[in-house]
Structure 1
Protein backbone atom coordinates (compact mmCIF):
# COMPACT_ATOMS: atom_id res chain seq x y z
CA UNK A 1 0.00 0.00 0.00
CA UNK A 2 2.82 2.38 0.89
CA UNK A 3 4.52 1.81 -2.42
CA UNK A 4 1.38 2.66 -4.30
CA UNK A 5 0.82 5.91 -2.44
CA UNK A 6 4.48 6.96 -2.84
CA UNK A 7 4.32 6.30 -6.56
CA UNK A 8 1.20 8.39 -6.88
CA UNK A 9 2.80 11.36 -5.09
CA UNK A 10 5.86 11.20 -7.30
CA UNK A 11 3.78 11.13 -10.46
CA UNK A 12 1.80 14.14 -9.28
CA UNK A 13 4.92 16.29 -8.85
CA UNK A 14 6.41 15.59 -12.31
CA UNK A 15 5.21 17.75 -15.27
CA UNK A 16 3.32 16.00 -17.92
CA UNK A 17 4.01 16.23 -21.60
CA UNK A 18 1.08 18.57 -22.01
CA UNK A 19 2.54 20.83 -19.35
CA UNK A 20 5.87 20.89 -21.15
CA UNK A 21 4.19 21.62 -24.47
CA UNK A 22 2.17 24.44 -22.89
CA UNK A 23 5.30 25.89 -21.29
CA UNK A 24 7.16 25.72 -24.58
CA UNK A 25 4.23 27.46 -26.26
CA UNK A 26 4.32 30.28 -23.77
CA UNK A 27 8.10 30.60 -24.16
CA UNK A 28 7.68 30.67 -27.92
CA UNK A 29 5.14 33.50 -27.59
CA UNK A 30 7.51 35.43 -25.36
CA UNK A 31 10.39 34.84 -27.77
CA UNK A 32 8.19 35.95 -30.65
CA UNK A 33 7.20 39.06 -28.69
CA UNK A 34 10.85 39.78 -27.87
CA UNK A 35 11.78 39.23 -31.50
CA UNK A 36 9.05 41.61 -32.59
CA UNK A 37 10.27 44.22 -30.09
CA UNK A 38 13.85 43.75 -31.25
CA UNK A 39 12.76 44.29 -34.83
CA UNK A 40 11.00 47.48 -33.72
CA UNK A 41 14.16 48.55 -31.93
CA UNK A 42 16.16 47.85 -35.08
CA UNK A 43 13.72 50.04 -37.05
CA UNK A 44 13.97 52.71 -34.38
CA UNK A 45 17.74 52.55 -34.55
CA UNK A 46 17.53 53.06 -38.32
CA UNK A 47 15.24 56.01 -37.77
CA UNK A 48 17.64 57.45 -35.21
CA UNK A 49 20.49 57.04 -37.66
CA UNK A 50 18.44 58.69 -40.41
CA UNK A 51 17.46 61.52 -38.05
CA UNK A 52 21.07 61.97 -37.05
CA UNK A 53 22.10 62.21 -40.72
CA UNK A 54 19.32 64.69 -41.45
CA UNK A 55 20.26 66.68 -38.36
CA UNK A 56 23.88 66.81 -39.54
CA UNK A 57 22.70 67.96 -42.96
CA UNK A 58 20.57 70.61 -41.28
CA UNK A 59 23.48 71.85 -39.15
CA UNK A 60 25.72 71.87 -42.22
CA UNK A 61 23.12 73.91 -44.10
CA UNK A 62 22.72 76.29 -41.17
CA UNK A 63 26.49 76.66 -40.87
CA UNK A 64 26.82 77.33 -44.61
CA UNK A 65 23.88 79.75 -44.50
CA UNK A 66 25.37 81.54 -41.49
CA UNK A 67 28.78 81.84 -43.12
CA UNK A 68 27.25 83.16 -46.35
CA UNK A 69 25.14 85.69 -44.48
CA UNK A 70 28.09 86.65 -42.32
CA UNK A 71 30.05 87.32 -45.50
CA UNK A 72 27.14 89.30 -46.95
CA UNK A 73 26.81 91.22 -43.69
CA UNK A 74 30.53 91.97 -43.70
CA UNK A 75 30.26 93.26 -47.27
CA UNK A 76 27.20 95.30 -46.31
CA UNK A 77 28.99 96.75 -43.28
CA UNK A 78 31.92 97.61 -45.53
CA UNK A 79 29.57 99.34 -47.96
CA UNK A 80 27.87 101.18 -45.09
CA UNK A 81 31.26 102.31 -43.82
CA UNK A 82 32.16 103.43 -47.33
CA UNK A 83 28.85 105.30 -47.61
CA UNK A 84 29.47 106.93 -44.23
CA UNK A 85 32.91 108.05 -45.39
CA UNK A 86 31.47 109.35 -48.66
CA UNK A 87 28.61 111.03 -46.78
CA UNK A 88 31.01 112.74 -44.42
CA UNK A 89 33.05 113.86 -47.42
CA UNK A 90 29.85 115.17 -49.04
CA UNK A 91 28.98 117.03 -45.84
CA UNK A 92 32.39 118.66 -45.82
CA UNK A 93 32.06 119.58 -49.48
CA UNK A 94 28.60 121.04 -48.83
CA UNK A 95 29.96 123.02 -45.87
CA UNK A 96 32.80 124.28 -48.08
CA UNK A 97 30.29 125.22 -50.78
CA UNK A 98 28.14 127.02 -48.20
CA UNK A 99 31.16 128.99 -47.03
CA UNK A 100 32.11 129.74 -50.63
CA UNK A 101 28.54 130.82 -51.34
CA UNK A 102 28.49 133.11 -48.29
CA UNK A 103 31.85 134.57 -49.27
CA UNK A 104 30.68 135.05 -52.85
CA UNK A 105 27.52 136.72 -51.57
CA UNK A 106 29.60 138.99 -49.32
CA UNK A 107 31.89 139.80 -52.25
CA UNK A 108 28.92 140.55 -54.50
CA UNK A 109 27.37 142.77 -51.81
CA UNK A 110 30.68 144.58 -51.43
CA UNK A 111 31.03 145.10 -55.19
CA UNK A 112 27.43 146.29 -55.35
CA UNK A 113 28.06 148.58 -52.38
CA UNK A 114 31.07 150.03 -54.16
CA UNK A 115 28.91 150.68 -57.22
CA UNK A 116 26.53 152.56 -54.88
CA UNK A 117 29.35 154.44 -53.17
CA UNK A 118 28.36 157.79 -54.68
CA UNK A 119 24.64 157.25 -54.03
CA UNK A 120 22.40 158.91 -51.46
CA UNK A 121 18.77 158.16 -50.70
CA UNK A 122 16.47 161.12 -50.02
CA UNK A 123 13.35 160.07 -48.13
CA UNK A 124 9.83 161.50 -47.66
CA UNK A 125 10.24 164.29 -50.21
CA UNK A 126 6.77 164.97 -51.67
CA UNK A 127 6.24 163.55 -55.16
CA UNK A 128 4.58 165.59 -57.88
CA UNK A 129 2.02 164.22 -60.32
CA UNK A 130 3.72 163.39 -63.63
CA UNK A 131 7.16 164.12 -62.21
CA UNK A 132 9.94 163.72 -64.81
CA UNK A 133 13.60 162.74 -64.04
CA UNK A 134 14.71 166.31 -64.81
CA UNK A 135 12.11 167.65 -62.38
CA UNK A 136 13.20 165.07 -59.75
CA UNK A 137 16.79 166.31 -60.01
CA UNK A 138 15.63 169.92 -59.58
CA UNK A 139 13.61 168.88 -56.51
CA UNK A 140 16.74 167.26 -55.00
CA UNK A 141 18.89 170.32 -55.68
CA UNK A 142 16.31 172.60 -54.07
CA UNK A 143 16.04 170.18 -51.14
CA UNK A 144 19.83 170.27 -50.59
CA UNK A 145 19.75 174.08 -50.55
CA UNK A 146 16.57 174.60 -48.51
CA UNK A 147 16.68 171.70 -46.05
CA UNK A 148 20.37 170.76 -45.83
CA UNK A 149 21.56 174.39 -45.90
CA UNK A 150 24.22 173.89 -48.60
CA UNK A 151 25.07 177.05 -50.59
CA UNK A 152 23.19 177.39 -53.86
CA UNK A 153 26.38 178.01 -55.81
CA UNK A 154 27.93 174.78 -54.46
CA UNK A 155 24.79 172.82 -55.30
CA UNK A 156 24.62 174.25 -58.82
CA UNK A 157 28.18 173.06 -59.39
CA UNK A 158 27.36 169.51 -58.23
CA UNK A 159 27.02 166.96 -61.01
CA UNK A 160 24.68 163.99 -60.88
CA UNK A 161 25.04 160.86 -62.97
CA UNK A 162 21.41 160.05 -62.35
CA UNK A 163 18.51 161.08 -60.09
CA UNK A 164 15.32 159.01 -59.97
CA UNK A 165 12.48 157.82 -57.78
CA UNK A 166 12.77 154.24 -56.47
CA UNK A 167 10.35 151.60 -57.72
CA UNK A 168 6.97 151.97 -59.41
CA UNK A 169 4.52 154.62 -58.32
CA UNK A 170 1.59 153.11 -56.44
CA UNK A 171 -1.59 155.12 -56.10
CA UNK A 172 -3.25 154.39 -52.77
CA UNK A 173 -6.91 155.10 -52.07
CA UNK A 174 -7.41 157.58 -49.24
CA UNK A 175 -10.37 157.97 -46.92
CA UNK A 176 -12.20 160.00 -49.55
CA UNK A 177 -11.88 157.05 -51.97
CA UNK A 178 -9.92 159.07 -54.52
CA UNK A 179 -6.78 157.55 -55.99
CA UNK A 180 -3.54 159.44 -55.55
CA UNK A 181 -4.71 161.18 -52.37
CA UNK A 182 -2.53 162.72 -49.69
CA UNK A 183 -2.27 159.28 -48.04
CA UNK A 184 0.05 158.09 -50.83
CA UNK A 185 3.59 157.79 -49.46
CA UNK A 186 6.14 159.43 -51.79
CA UNK A 187 8.77 157.18 -53.27
CA UNK A 188 12.33 157.74 -52.08
CA UNK A 189 14.80 159.38 -54.46
CA UNK A 190 18.19 157.94 -55.36
CA UNK A 191 20.79 160.49 -56.34
CA UNK A 192 24.01 159.20 -57.89
CA UNK A 193 26.70 161.87 -57.61
CA UNK A 194 29.55 162.07 -60.09
CA UNK A 195 32.00 162.95 -57.33
CA UNK A 196 32.28 161.34 -53.91
CA UNK A 197 33.25 164.67 -52.33
CA UNK A 198 29.91 166.20 -53.32
CA UNK A 199 28.10 163.21 -51.89
CA UNK A 200 29.94 163.54 -48.58
CA UNK A 201 29.21 167.27 -48.36
CA UNK A 202 25.49 166.55 -48.74
CA UNK A 203 25.51 163.58 -46.36
CA UNK A 204 27.39 165.47 -43.64
CA UNK A 205 24.68 168.18 -43.70
CA UNK A 206 21.91 165.65 -43.09
CA UNK A 207 22.05 166.60 -39.40
CA UNK A 208 19.99 169.65 -40.37
CA UNK A 209 17.02 167.31 -40.84
CA UNK A 210 16.86 166.50 -37.12
CA UNK A 211 13.29 166.77 -35.83
CA UNK A 212 11.69 166.23 -39.25
CA UNK A 213 10.40 163.16 -41.05
CA UNK A 214 12.85 163.82 -43.89
CA UNK A 215 16.08 161.85 -44.12
CA UNK A 216 19.22 161.36 -46.21
CA UNK A 217 21.12 158.11 -46.02
CA UNK A 218 23.70 156.08 -47.91
CA UNK A 219 22.50 153.38 -50.28
CA UNK A 220 23.52 149.75 -49.76
CA UNK A 221 22.33 146.36 -51.08
CA UNK A 222 19.26 145.08 -49.17
CA UNK A 223 21.19 142.52 -47.08
CA UNK A 224 23.84 145.05 -46.07
CA UNK A 225 21.20 147.68 -45.33
CA UNK A 226 19.28 145.24 -43.09
CA UNK A 227 22.48 144.34 -41.23
CA UNK A 228 23.38 148.02 -40.77
CA UNK A 229 19.94 148.70 -39.25
CA UNK A 230 20.56 145.97 -36.69
CA UNK A 231 24.02 147.33 -35.97
CA UNK A 232 22.79 150.90 -35.51
CA UNK A 233 20.33 149.66 -32.87
CA UNK A 234 23.33 148.15 -31.13
CA UNK A 235 25.23 151.46 -31.52
CA UNK A 236 22.41 153.24 -29.71
CA UNK A 237 22.57 150.73 -26.85
CA UNK A 238 26.35 151.01 -26.58
CA UNK A 239 26.22 154.81 -26.52
CA UNK A 240 23.56 154.73 -23.80
CA UNK A 241 25.98 152.58 -21.82
CA UNK A 242 28.65 155.27 -22.19
CA UNK A 243 30.77 153.54 -24.80
CA UNK A 244 31.93 154.87 -28.15
CA UNK A 245 30.34 152.92 -30.99
CA UNK A 246 30.03 153.30 -34.74
CA UNK A 247 29.36 151.28 -37.90
CA UNK A 248 31.73 151.06 -40.83
CA UNK A 249 30.09 149.43 -43.85
CA UNK A 250 28.68 146.27 -42.20
CA UNK A 251 30.94 146.07 -39.15
CA UNK A 252 30.32 147.33 -35.62
CA UNK A 253 33.10 148.94 -33.60
CA UNK A 254 32.86 149.55 -29.85
CA UNK A 255 35.62 151.54 -28.14
CA UNK A 256 37.78 151.03 -31.18
CA UNK A 257 37.39 147.24 -31.28
CA UNK A 258 35.57 145.24 -33.94
CA UNK A 259 32.53 143.40 -32.58
CA UNK A 260 31.14 140.35 -34.36
CA UNK A 261 27.41 139.73 -34.45
CA UNK A 262 26.24 136.90 -32.16
Structure 2
Protein backbone atom coordinates (compact mmCIF):
# COMPACT_ATOMS: atom_id res chain seq x y z
CA UNK A 1 0.00 0.00 0.00
CA UNK A 2 2.87 2.36 0.82
CA UNK A 3 4.50 1.54 -2.53
CA UNK A 4 1.30 2.43 -4.41
CA UNK A 5 0.98 5.73 -2.53
CA UNK A 6 4.56 6.58 -3.27
CA UNK A 7 4.10 5.82 -6.96
CA UNK A 8 0.93 7.95 -7.11
CA UNK A 9 2.80 10.90 -5.58
CA UNK A 10 5.56 10.56 -8.11
CA UNK A 11 3.07 10.59 -10.99
CA UNK A 12 1.27 13.68 -9.72
CA UNK A 13 4.14 15.66 -8.42
CA UNK A 14 7.10 14.16 -10.21
CA UNK A 15 9.50 16.01 -12.37
CA UNK A 16 8.23 14.40 -15.59
CA UNK A 17 7.41 17.11 -18.11
CA UNK A 18 6.11 15.06 -20.87
CA UNK A 19 2.34 14.63 -20.85
CA UNK A 20 2.21 11.24 -22.52
CA UNK A 21 4.53 9.84 -19.98
CA UNK A 22 2.44 11.27 -17.22
CA UNK A 23 -0.70 9.81 -18.65
CA UNK A 24 0.93 6.44 -18.99
CA UNK A 25 1.95 6.59 -15.41
CA UNK A 26 -1.56 7.62 -14.38
CA UNK A 27 -3.03 4.78 -16.40
CA UNK A 28 -0.64 2.33 -14.91
CA UNK A 29 -1.48 3.61 -11.45
CA UNK A 30 -5.19 3.30 -12.10
CA UNK A 31 -4.75 -0.25 -13.33
CA UNK A 32 -2.86 -1.13 -10.22
CA UNK A 33 -5.50 0.52 -8.07
CA UNK A 34 -8.18 -1.36 -9.94
CA UNK A 35 -6.34 -4.59 -9.40
CA UNK A 36 -5.93 -3.76 -5.72
CA UNK A 37 -9.62 -2.87 -5.36
CA UNK A 38 -10.63 -6.07 -7.14
CA UNK A 39 -8.45 -7.99 -4.72
CA UNK A 40 -9.95 -6.09 -1.79
CA UNK A 41 -13.50 -6.74 -3.05
CA UNK A 42 -12.68 -10.41 -3.47
CA UNK A 43 -11.27 -10.61 0.01
CA UNK A 44 -14.20 -8.60 1.32
CA UNK A 45 -16.61 -11.17 -0.23
CA UNK A 46 -14.74 -13.95 1.46
CA UNK A 47 -14.81 -12.07 4.77
CA UNK A 48 -18.52 -11.43 4.32
CA UNK A 49 -19.09 -15.16 3.84
CA UNK A 50 -16.97 -15.89 6.89
CA UNK A 51 -18.87 -13.29 8.93
CA UNK A 52 -22.15 -14.80 7.77
CA UNK A 53 -20.95 -18.21 8.84
CA UNK A 54 -19.79 -16.79 12.15
CA UNK A 55 -23.16 -15.11 12.59
CA UNK A 56 -24.96 -18.39 11.92
CA UNK A 57 -22.71 -20.16 14.38
CA UNK A 58 -23.29 -17.39 16.92
CA UNK A 59 -27.05 -17.67 16.44
CA UNK A 60 -26.83 -21.45 16.84
CA UNK A 61 -24.67 -20.98 19.92
CA UNK A 62 -27.14 -18.47 21.30
CA UNK A 63 -29.97 -20.95 20.79
CA UNK A 64 -27.95 -23.61 22.56
CA UNK A 65 -27.21 -21.23 25.40
CA UNK A 66 -30.91 -20.46 25.72
CA UNK A 67 -31.70 -24.19 25.79
CA UNK A 68 -28.92 -24.70 28.31
CA UNK A 69 -30.34 -21.93 30.48
CA UNK A 70 -33.74 -23.61 30.34
CA UNK A 71 -32.12 -26.91 31.24
CA UNK A 72 -30.29 -25.23 34.11
CA UNK A 73 -33.55 -23.80 35.40
CA UNK A 74 -35.14 -27.24 35.12
CA UNK A 75 -32.16 -28.82 36.86
CA UNK A 76 -32.35 -26.23 39.63
CA UNK A 77 -36.04 -27.03 40.05
CA UNK A 78 -35.30 -30.73 40.21
CA UNK A 79 -32.44 -30.15 42.64
CA UNK A 80 -34.84 -28.21 44.84
CA UNK A 81 -37.33 -31.07 44.68
CA UNK A 82 -34.57 -33.57 45.38
CA UNK A 83 -33.42 -31.53 48.35
CA UNK A 84 -36.95 -31.51 49.70
CA UNK A 85 -37.30 -35.23 49.01
CA UNK A 86 -33.85 -35.86 50.48
CA UNK A 87 -34.88 -34.02 53.62
CA UNK A 88 -38.00 -36.17 53.89
CA UNK A 89 -35.94 -39.29 53.13
CA UNK A 90 -33.44 -38.26 55.78
CA UNK A 91 -36.26 -37.97 58.31
CA UNK A 92 -37.52 -41.39 57.19
CA UNK A 93 -34.04 -42.86 57.57
CA UNK A 94 -33.76 -41.33 61.03
CA UNK A 95 -37.09 -42.86 61.99
CA UNK A 96 -36.07 -46.23 60.55
CA UNK A 97 -32.73 -46.06 62.38
CA UNK A 98 -34.52 -45.27 65.64
CA UNK A 99 -36.86 -48.23 65.18
CA UNK A 100 -33.97 -50.46 64.12
CA UNK A 101 -31.99 -49.51 67.22
CA UNK A 102 -35.03 -50.27 69.37
CA UNK A 103 -35.52 -53.62 67.64
CA UNK A 104 -31.84 -54.45 68.13
CA UNK A 105 -32.17 -53.58 71.82
CA UNK A 106 -35.32 -55.72 72.12
CA UNK A 107 -33.61 -58.61 70.33
CA UNK A 108 -30.60 -58.37 72.62
CA UNK A 109 -32.93 -58.36 75.62
CA UNK A 110 -34.80 -61.39 74.27
CA UNK A 111 -31.51 -63.17 73.63
CA UNK A 112 -30.46 -62.56 77.23
CA UNK A 113 -33.83 -63.84 78.45
CA UNK A 114 -33.50 -66.85 76.15
CA UNK A 115 -30.03 -67.58 77.51
CA UNK A 116 -31.34 -67.28 81.07
CA UNK A 117 -34.27 -69.54 80.20
CA UNK A 118 -31.98 -72.12 78.60
CA UNK A 119 -29.76 -72.05 81.68
CA UNK A 120 -32.79 -72.49 83.94
CA UNK A 121 -34.07 -75.23 81.65
CA UNK A 122 -30.72 -77.00 81.78
CA UNK A 123 -30.68 -76.73 85.57
CA UNK A 124 -34.26 -77.98 85.69
CA UNK A 125 -33.38 -80.89 83.39
CA UNK A 126 -30.46 -81.78 85.63
CA UNK A 127 -32.74 -81.65 88.67
CA UNK A 128 -35.34 -83.78 86.87
CA UNK A 129 -32.65 -86.30 85.91
CA UNK A 130 -31.52 -86.42 89.53
CA UNK A 131 -35.12 -86.85 90.66
CA UNK A 132 -35.60 -89.63 88.10
CA UNK A 133 -32.49 -91.36 89.41
CA UNK A 134 -33.74 -90.95 92.97
CA UNK A 135 -37.15 -92.20 91.90
CA UNK A 136 -35.65 -95.27 90.24
CA UNK A 137 -33.47 -95.92 93.26
CA UNK A 138 -36.43 -95.54 95.63
CA UNK A 139 -38.57 -97.72 93.37
CA UNK A 140 -35.88 -100.40 93.37
CA UNK A 141 -35.65 -100.17 97.14
CA UNK A 142 -39.43 -100.36 97.43
CA UNK A 143 -39.59 -103.40 95.16
CA UNK A 144 -36.82 -105.02 97.15
CA UNK A 145 -38.68 -104.33 100.40
CA UNK A 146 -41.88 -105.70 98.91
CA UNK A 147 -40.04 -108.82 97.77
CA UNK A 148 -38.64 -109.27 101.24
CA UNK A 149 -42.04 -108.74 102.83
CA UNK A 150 -43.59 -111.25 100.39
CA UNK A 151 -40.81 -113.77 100.77
CA UNK A 152 -42.90 -115.90 103.13
CA UNK A 153 -46.12 -115.62 101.09
CA UNK A 154 -47.64 -118.22 98.78
CA UNK A 155 -50.68 -117.74 96.56
CA UNK A 156 -53.07 -120.69 96.09
CA UNK A 157 -55.47 -120.48 93.17
CA UNK A 158 -58.45 -122.62 92.16
CA UNK A 159 -59.59 -123.51 95.69
CA UNK A 160 -63.38 -123.43 95.91
CA UNK A 161 -64.80 -120.42 97.76
CA UNK A 162 -67.79 -120.46 100.12
CA UNK A 163 -69.50 -117.81 102.14
CA UNK A 164 -68.40 -117.50 105.78
CA UNK A 165 -65.64 -120.03 105.20
CA UNK A 166 -62.58 -120.59 107.37
CA UNK A 167 -59.75 -119.90 104.89
CA UNK A 168 -56.99 -121.33 107.06
CA UNK A 169 -58.86 -124.57 107.75
CA UNK A 170 -59.78 -124.93 104.08
CA UNK A 171 -56.15 -124.34 103.06
CA UNK A 172 -54.85 -126.90 105.57
CA UNK A 173 -57.26 -129.55 104.23
CA UNK A 174 -56.23 -128.67 100.65
CA UNK A 175 -52.53 -129.01 101.48
CA UNK A 176 -53.15 -132.30 103.28
CA UNK A 177 -55.48 -133.89 100.73
CA UNK A 178 -54.36 -132.51 97.36
CA UNK A 179 -50.70 -131.70 98.00
CA UNK A 180 -50.16 -134.77 100.27
CA UNK A 181 -48.34 -132.92 103.01
CA UNK A 182 -49.01 -134.42 106.43
CA UNK A 183 -46.68 -132.12 108.29
CA UNK A 184 -48.45 -129.42 110.28
CA UNK A 185 -47.60 -126.00 108.89
CA UNK A 186 -47.45 -122.74 110.80
CA UNK A 187 -49.21 -119.76 109.22
CA UNK A 188 -49.03 -116.14 110.20
CA UNK A 189 -52.10 -115.15 108.20
CA UNK A 190 -54.41 -116.73 105.62
CA UNK A 191 -57.05 -114.86 103.61
CA UNK A 192 -58.49 -114.37 100.16
CA UNK A 193 -57.80 -111.27 98.08
CA UNK A 194 -58.93 -109.62 94.88
CA UNK A 195 -62.34 -109.00 93.31
CA UNK A 196 -65.08 -111.61 93.42
CA UNK A 197 -66.26 -113.08 90.12
CA UNK A 198 -69.14 -115.46 89.55
CA UNK A 199 -68.03 -119.09 89.26
CA UNK A 200 -64.42 -118.10 89.84
CA UNK A 201 -62.95 -118.34 93.35
CA UNK A 202 -60.59 -115.70 94.58
CA UNK A 203 -57.03 -116.81 95.30
CA UNK A 204 -55.86 -117.44 98.85
CA UNK A 205 -52.68 -115.86 100.14
CA UNK A 206 -50.92 -117.53 103.04
CA UNK A 207 -48.04 -116.14 105.05
CA UNK A 208 -45.77 -118.84 106.47
CA UNK A 209 -43.93 -118.40 109.70
CA UNK A 210 -41.07 -120.61 108.56
CA UNK A 211 -39.42 -120.57 105.17
CA UNK A 212 -38.83 -124.32 105.39
CA UNK A 213 -42.61 -124.83 105.43
CA UNK A 214 -43.00 -122.57 102.41
CA UNK A 215 -40.27 -124.40 100.52
CA UNK A 216 -41.88 -127.74 101.34
CA UNK A 217 -45.21 -126.59 99.89
CA UNK A 218 -43.52 -125.19 96.77
CA UNK A 219 -41.78 -128.49 96.14
CA UNK A 220 -45.07 -130.33 96.56
CA UNK A 221 -46.59 -128.20 93.83
CA UNK A 222 -45.68 -130.93 91.34
CA UNK A 223 -48.52 -132.99 92.86
CA UNK A 224 -50.98 -130.45 91.40
CA UNK A 225 -49.82 -131.04 87.83
CA UNK A 226 -52.80 -131.68 85.55
CA UNK A 227 -55.28 -130.03 87.94
CA UNK A 228 -56.84 -126.58 87.92
CA UNK A 229 -55.02 -125.68 91.12
CA UNK A 230 -51.91 -123.58 91.31
CA UNK A 231 -49.30 -122.53 93.88
CA UNK A 232 -47.00 -119.59 93.28
CA UNK A 233 -44.81 -117.37 95.38
CA UNK A 234 -46.04 -113.81 95.70
CA UNK A 235 -44.05 -111.01 94.03
CA UNK A 236 -44.65 -107.31 93.38
CA UNK A 237 -46.47 -106.52 90.12
CA UNK A 238 -43.27 -105.24 88.46
CA UNK A 239 -41.42 -108.46 89.23
CA UNK A 240 -44.37 -110.64 88.25
CA UNK A 241 -44.60 -108.92 84.85
CA UNK A 242 -40.96 -109.72 84.14
CA UNK A 243 -41.39 -113.30 85.34
CA UNK A 244 -44.30 -113.83 82.89
CA UNK A 245 -41.93 -113.10 80.02
CA UNK A 246 -39.44 -115.61 81.40
CA UNK A 247 -41.86 -118.50 82.02
CA UNK A 248 -41.99 -119.71 78.37
CA UNK A 249 -38.21 -119.67 78.16
CA UNK A 250 -37.91 -121.50 81.45
CA UNK A 251 -40.32 -124.25 80.34
CA UNK A 252 -38.57 -124.67 77.00
CA UNK A 253 -35.15 -124.94 78.63
CA UNK A 254 -36.41 -127.49 81.13
CA UNK A 255 -37.62 -129.64 78.25
CA UNK A 256 -34.07 -129.47 76.90
CA UNK A 257 -32.83 -130.70 80.30
CA UNK A 258 -31.00 -127.43 80.90
CA UNK A 259 -30.13 -126.21 84.34
CA UNK A 260 -32.75 -123.56 85.05
CA UNK A 261 -32.84 -121.23 88.04
CA UNK A 262 -35.39 -118.40 88.40
CA UNK A 263 -34.57 -115.90 91.15
CA UNK A 264 -37.15 -113.14 91.39
CA UNK A 265 -37.06 -111.61 87.87
CA UNK A 266 -33.74 -113.12 86.77
CA UNK A 267 -33.54 -116.38 84.85
CA UNK A 268 -30.30 -118.37 84.69
CA UNK A 269 -29.94 -121.13 82.12
CA UNK A 270 -26.79 -123.20 82.57
CA UNK A 271 -25.40 -120.38 84.72
CA UNK A 272 -26.03 -117.83 81.92
CA UNK A 273 -28.27 -114.84 82.67
CA UNK A 274 -31.16 -114.55 80.20
CA UNK A 275 -32.44 -111.03 79.57
CA UNK A 276 -35.70 -110.19 77.82
CA UNK A 277 -36.73 -106.77 76.48
CA UNK A 278 -39.70 -105.55 74.48
CA UNK A 279 -37.67 -104.87 71.32
CA UNK A 280 -35.33 -107.83 71.09
CA UNK A 281 -35.29 -111.58 71.52
CA UNK A 282 -34.04 -113.17 74.76
CA UNK A 283 -30.30 -113.46 75.01
CA UNK A 284 -27.96 -115.03 77.49
CA UNK A 285 -25.26 -113.23 79.44
CA UNK A 286 -22.57 -114.63 81.73
CA UNK A 287 -23.92 -115.10 85.21
CA UNK A 288 -22.32 -112.83 87.75
CA UNK A 289 -22.43 -113.50 91.44
CA UNK A 290 -23.37 -110.23 93.13
CA UNK A 291 -21.25 -109.04 95.99
CA UNK A 292 -23.64 -108.42 98.84
CA UNK A 293 -22.87 -106.75 102.15
CA UNK A 294 -22.85 -108.97 105.17
CA UNK A 295 -26.35 -109.23 106.61
CA UNK A 296 -27.10 -108.46 110.19
CA UNK A 297 -28.68 -111.13 112.32
CA UNK A 298 -32.43 -111.15 111.89
CA UNK A 299 -34.39 -110.32 114.99
CA UNK A 300 -37.93 -111.64 114.90
CA UNK A 301 -40.70 -111.95 117.42
CA UNK A 302 -41.66 -115.28 115.83
CA UNK A 303 -39.84 -118.27 117.32
CA UNK A 304 -37.90 -120.61 115.01
CA UNK A 305 -38.88 -124.20 114.53
CA UNK A 306 -36.06 -125.10 116.95
CA UNK A 307 -37.38 -122.80 119.65
CA UNK A 308 -34.90 -119.92 119.17
CA UNK A 309 -36.21 -116.37 119.24
What is the TM-score when the length of structure 1 is the normalising length? 0.70
Instruction: Supply the distance in 2 between the matched residues of 1:43 and 1:244 (Cα, whole angstroms).
Output: 109
Q: Alignment length, in residue pairs?
A: 214
Residues 217-240 of structure 1 deviation map (CA, whole Å, 9 limit, x = unaligned): 101122222221122223234456
Instruction: Supply the distance in 2 between the matched residues of 1:250 and 1:113 (Cα, whole angstroms).
Output: 11
Structure 1 segment 199-210 matched on structure 2, within 5 A:
199-210=214-225
Check conservation: 2:245, 2:276, Cα contact below 8 A: no
Residues 91/222 of structure 1: CA separation in 2 closer, same or farther (3 Å cut): same
Instruction: Supply the distance in 2 between the matched residues of 1:34 and 1:229 (Cα, whole angstroms).
Output: 106
Counterpart in the other structure of 1:107: 141
Residues 147-179 of structure 1 deviation map (CA, whole Å, 9 limit, x = unaligned): 22222xx22xx2211111113544x2xxxxxxx
Select the residue among 87, 90, 95 that pairs with 1:61.
95
Residues 238/58 of structure 1: CA separation in 2 closer, same or farther (3 Å cut): farther
Does 2:110 match 1:76? Answer: yes
Deviation at 1:251, TM superposition (A): 1.9
Structure 2 residue runs without a partner (length 5+): 1-61, 278-309
The higher radius of gyration belongs to: 2
Does 2:287 match 1:253? Answer: no
Residues 240/49 of structure 1: CA separation in 2 closer, same or farther (3 Å cut): farther
Does 2:244 match 1:229? Answer: yes
What is the TM-score when the length of structure 2 is the normalising length? 0.60
Counterpart in the other structure of 2:191: 164
Higher relative contact order by CA 8 Å / sep ≥ 6: 1 or 2?
A: 1
Residues 242/194 of structure 1: CA separation in 2 closer, same or farther (3 Å cut): closer
Residues 118-151 of structure 1 deviation map (CA, whole Å, 9 limit, x = unaligned): 11111101123331xxx22111112112222222
Does 2:172 match 1:141? Answer: yes
Instruction: Supply the distance in 2 between the matched residues of 1:149 and 1:65 (Cα, whole angstroms).
Output: 94
Structure 1 residue runs without a partner (length 5+): 1-26, 173-183
Counterpart in the other structure of 1:130: 164
Check conservation: 2:190, 2:207, Cα contact below 8 A: yes
Deviation at 1:35, TM superposition (A): 8.5
